[in-house]
Structure 1
Amino acid sequence: MRTDVVVIGGGYAGVMAANRLRQREDVVVTLINSRPVFVDRVRLHQLVGGSHDAVADYGDVLGEGVRLVVDTVVRIDAAGRSVLLSSGSTIGYDYLIYAVGSAGAEPVVPGAAEFAHPIAGLEEARRLRSVLDAVPASAPIAVVGGGPTGIETAAELAEGGRNVTLVCGGVLGPYLHPKARRAVAKRLAKLGITVLEGAESKVVAVTADAVELADGRRSPSEVTIWTAGFAVPGLARDSGLTTDAAGRLLTDETLTSVDDDRVVGAGDAVSPSGRPLRMSGQVAFSLGAQAADTVLSRIAGSVPKPIDSGFAGQCLSLGRRAGVFQFARRDDIATSYYVSGRLGATLKEIACKAGFRHLTTEARRPGGYTWLKDDSRAARVRDGHHVTPAAQPGPLGVGRTPAP
C-alpha cells in the first residue's frame, strides 16, 4: 500500500525532507515549489554582487522519483487531506510537510516600499542587480540592516568598488560576540564602508535619493537596499491551522502540527512548542531531515522522536577575500571564539558548499544525513525557557537570506 507525501516548499528544508522520505519504497513524494529552479539562498548577496548566480537545477538536488510540481499552494484543506494550487488543481496527500520558508518582512517605514530594494528572494535579487548595473560605480548606496544579510551585501558591493553606507539602526551584527564584531567592523572599514550604528541611525523614511535617520540626518542614497526583517508566508494561518504570533505553524517537539498529526512542519516557518529555532540554513537542513523522520515513524507505526538540533555558529562573508566564523554553543549562544580574515572566508565557503552537498548526498543516499545535536533543548522547553536568544536571522547558521 503506497503512502502519498506532499512537501510544500523547495528550499533547504523541503528538499532535504523530500530526499529523506525515499528511504521507503512505498512512499510517493511530491514537492511543490513556485519556481522551476532551486535557490541557494545563502548566495543571493553574491548574485547581487555578480560573483554567483545562486541557482541550481532541481535535477541536481532532488533524488530520483521525487515528483516536482511548479505551482503555488494557496490553501491547505487539512480535513480533506489535499492542497489547492494557484492553477486551480488539487493534490491529495496522506501526510503533508509544511516547509514554506521565510521572506523579507514588508517594511513599514515611509517610502521604503516605493524606493528601497529588498534582497529576500531570487527575483528581488535579480532586479536589484539590474538596478545596480544601471548606475555609476560612484553612486551612493545605502544598505539598511546590520544583520548578516546587510553585512554580507554591503561587503560584497564595496569590494566591487561601490560607495556603500551600512545603516544598522542598532548594533552591527547583534548576534556576534564583541570580539568578532570588532573584526567585522575593521574589515568593513578597510573596504571603505561607512557604518552607522546606534538608535540614532534608525531609518525613519526613505526617499528617491536618501535615507532619513532618527536623529534628523539624511544619508545620500541613489540605491537603497532593504535587508531589515524577515517574515513567513500566511498559508498556515489562512488555512485554519494554529500558528504562533509570527505566523509560523505551531507544532509539538516532533514537528507535528498541534491540529493534525498528518501535517508536519520544517524550516523557518515552524514553531516547535512555540519556541522556534533561529532562521538559518543550518536549522533548515536538520529540521527537514527530522520532519521526514517523523513522517516515516508515523507510517511505520512507531513514536516519532523529539527534535534535537544544535548550532555550530554563524559565518559571514566579508567580500570574496575575507570572512568571520563566529563559534557558538550548541544552544546558539555566541562564544568569544571566532576566526577571521582569509581563513574566515574559506570556512564560509566550505559551509556554503557543505550545505548544498548535504542535499545532493541525501538525494543519492536517503537517510545518510546527520547533524549537530543539542541535548539540552528538551530541558529548556520543559522548564519554559526560551530555546534561542533573540537575534536577527541570518545564511547557514551562518547568517541568512530568506527562503523560496
Structure 2
Amino acid sequence: MAQNTEVVVIGGGYAGVMAANRLTQREDVTVTLINPRPVFVHRIRLHQVVGGSQDVVADYRELLAKGVRLVVDTAARIDAAERSVVLAAGGTVGYDYLIYAVGSGSADPRVPGAAEFAYPIASLEEAQRLWSVLDAAPATAAVTVVGAGALGIETAAELAEAGRTVTLVCGEVLGPYLHPRVRRSIAKRLGKLGVTVLEGPDARVTAVTRDAVRLSGGRELPSGVTVWTAGFSVPDLAVRSGLSTDGLGRLLTDETLTSVDDVRIVAAGDSAAPSDLPLRMSCQAAGPLGAHAADTVLSRIAGEQPASIDVGFFGLCVSLGRRAATVQLASKDDIANRFSIRGRLAVKIKESSYKGLLKHLADEARKPGSHTWPFKDDKRRQLLEAKRAKQPATAERAA
C-alpha cells in the first residue's frame, strides 16, 4: 500500500486555502492547514469594518475541502531539517512538503509617533480596533488617513460616506498605480464625498502625535483619529526559520515557487519572492499563486518537473464608498492604462469580486484542480529574461 504524503499549508488566506483545496486532487495526500484564526478573513473588505460592517469573515467549513484538517494555531518556526512546524501553543506538525502562504500585514511605520498614535488596518483585529476607536470618538473628530494606495482610498471614502471629516494624506501622489486620467476621476469622486486630498512633496508625514499629523511642508493637521495604510510587510517566520528571503522578508524561490534552500518548501501569495521578482501584492495574484504552489507539490509527488509560474493582472478595483467604484484596467505588463469602468457597472464588478473570490475557493474545494487564471504578465517575463542574461556576465567578472 502506498504511503500518504503529508502536506502542511501555513496560512489560511486566499493563497493558502486555494493551495490546500487543490492538493486534495490526490487521495494519497493528507493536507493540514495551520491558521491563527478559526475563520477565514475576507481581507479586501477590511476597509468596510471601519464603517461598521461585520460581514468580513467566512466559515472555513464553506471554503475548505472536506479532507483538509484545520489546525487553529500560529506557526512559531519551521524546522526544515526535521520537516516540521513548531506551533506557538506547543507541539509540532510534521510534513513531507510545506506550502508557505503566510500573507502580509501592516508595515512597521518608521515615522516618529506613528506606531503609538496611528491605527493600522491590514488585519481583522486592527480594523476592529479602529472601528471601536471611531465609534467612541465624537462625530466631529477630524480623521486623517495616511497612505494613498487602494486601502487608503477605500478607507477614506468609506469614512467620508459615513459622515466623517476626512483628510487623505498621499505623500507624492494619489494612487501611484493609477493612470493620471483615472486618478483625476477618483480624486473628483473623493472630493464629492468631502475628502480633502493632500498630494506632493509637502504632503509626506514626518510625525504623528495624539491629536495631530505633521507634514514635510511644515503644516500640522489636527487629527482626532489617524489611520495608517502606508505600506505592507510580511511575517518574519521565514527569517526566524533560517530560510533565504528578500529584503522585505518574502521567501526566495525559483520560478516554480520552490524555496531556493529546500525543495520540499514551496511559497505562495504575498510572502513569495520568485526569482527575487515578486508579483504585486494582491488577492489577484494570491489565488493563482496558491494554485500553482499546489501544482508544484503535486508534480514533485508524481516525480514530474513542476512548471514555471505565469501569472498576471487585469488591473485594480477600487471602491469609493458603497455607491461608487472604479475599475482601473491594465495592459499585459501590469501598467495601468487610460481605460476604466465607472458608475453602476463598476460597483457591480467590485461587489461581484467580493463574492467571486470566495466562490473560486469554494469551487476548488468541490472540484480540486478546476481553478484557472487567464491573465499573464509580459513585463515580469521580460524582467526575468533580462536578469538571467546579466547573471552569466556577472559570474564571468567574478571569476
Aligning the two structures, in what range does the TM-score lie when normalised by the shorter sequence? over 0.9
Contact 2:315 2:336 in 1 (8 A): yes
Q: How far apart are the structure 1 equivalents of 2:299 and 2:201?
A: 49
Question: What is the aligned partner in structure 2 of residue 292 from structure 1?
Answer: 294
C-alpha offsets along residues 324-379 of structure 1, whole Å, 9 cap, x if unaligned?
A: 10001122111111012332222111122111111011111101111023263444
Q: How far apart are the structure 1 equivalents of 2:377 and 2:127?
A: 38
C-alpha offsets along residues 138-179 of structure 1, whole Å, 9 cap, x if unaligned?
A: 210000001111000000010111111101111000000011
Contact 1:110 1:205 in 2 (8 A): yes
1:64 is paired with a residue of what secondary structure?
Answer: coil
How far off is 1:52 after superposition?
Answer: 4.2
Q: TM-score, normalised by structure 1?
A: 0.94
C-alpha offsets along residues 71-122 of structure 1, whole Å, 9 cap, x if unaligned?
A: 1111101111001001121010000000000010111111111111110100
How far off is 1:245 after superposition?
Answer: 1.2
2:311 maps to 1:309: yes
| Aligned ranges 1:131-210 → 2 under 5 Å | 131-210=133-212
Question: What is the aligned partner in structure 1 of residue 387 from structure 2?
Answer: 384
Q: How far apart are the structure 1 equivalents of 2:8 and 2:279?
A: 23
Contact 1:312 1:372 in 2 (8 A): no
Question: What is the aligned partner in structure 1 of residue 357 from structure 2?
Answer: 355
Off by >2 Å, runs of 4+ in structure 1: 375-380
Contact 2:313 2:377 in 1 (8 A): no
Question: What is the aligned partner in structure 1 of residue 327 from structure 2?
Answer: 325
1:384 is paired with a residue of what secondary structure?
Answer: helix
Question: What is the aligned partner in structure 1 of residue 277 from structure 2?
Answer: 275
2:375 is paired with a residue of what secondary structure?
Answer: coil
Question: What is the aligned partner in structure 1 of residue 59 from structure 2?
Answer: 57
The letter for the 2-side match of 1:53 is D
Contact 1:204 1:212 in 2 (8 A): yes
The letter for the 2-side match of 1:381 is L
Q: How far apart are the structure 2 equivalents of 1:143 and 1:379?
A: 36
Contact 1:322 1:343 in 2 (8 A): no
Between structure 1 and structure 2, the one with the greater Rg is 2
Question: What is the aligned partner in structure 2 of residue 117 from structure 1?
Answer: 119
C-alpha offsets along residues 289-324 of structure 1, whole Å, 9 cap, x if unaligned?
A: 000000000000111000010111101000001011
Contact 1:49 1:160 in 2 (8 A): yes
Alpha carbon RMSD of aligned pairs, Å?
A: 1.1
Q: TM-score, normalised by structure 2?
A: 0.95
Question: What is the aligned partner in structure 2 of residue 399 from structure 1?
Answer: none
C-alpha offsets along residues 42-84 of structure 1, whole Å, 9 cap, x if unaligned?
A: 0000111123431111111111110000111111011110010
Task: Rate the CA distance shift 1:304–1:319 in 2: closer, same or farther, 3 A.
Answer: same
1:308 is paired with a residue of what secondary structure?
Answer: coil
Task: Rate the CA distance shift 1:5–1:52 in 2: closer, same or farther, 3 A.
Answer: same
Contact 1:43 1:52 in 2 (8 A): no
| Aligned ranges 1:56-75 → 2 under 5 Å | 56-75=58-77
The letter for the 2-side match of 1:350 is S
Q: How far apart are the structure 2 equivalents of 1:181 and 1:346?
A: 20
The letter for the 2-side match of 1:205 is A
Q: How far apart are the structure 1 equivalents of 2:159 and 2:241?
A: 40
Q: How far apart are the structure 2 equivalents of 1:319 and 1:77?
A: 45
Alignment equivalent of 1:372, drawn from 365, 371, 374: 374
Higher mean displacement: 180-189 or 338-347: 338-347
2:171 is paired with a residue of what secondary structure?
Answer: coil
Contact 1:183 1:340 in 2 (8 A): no
Q: How far apart are the structure 1 equivalents of 2:138 and 2:235?
A: 36
Higher mean displacement: 56-65 or 280-289: 56-65
Structure 1 stretches of 5 or more lacking a match? 386-404
Contact 1:255 1:272 in 2 (8 A): yes
How far off is 1:380 after superposition?
Answer: 3.1
Contact 1:74 1:235 in 2 (8 A): yes
Report which structure shows greater RCO (CA 8 Å, sep ≥6). 1
Alignment equivalent of 2:128, drawn from 122, 126, 129: 126
Q: How far apart are the structure 2 equivalents of 1:215 and 1:311?
A: 36
2:96 maps to 1:94: yes
Q: How far apart are the structure 1 equivalents of 2:312 and 2:229?
A: 26
Q: How far apart are the structure 2 equivalents of 1:79 and 1:113?
A: 37
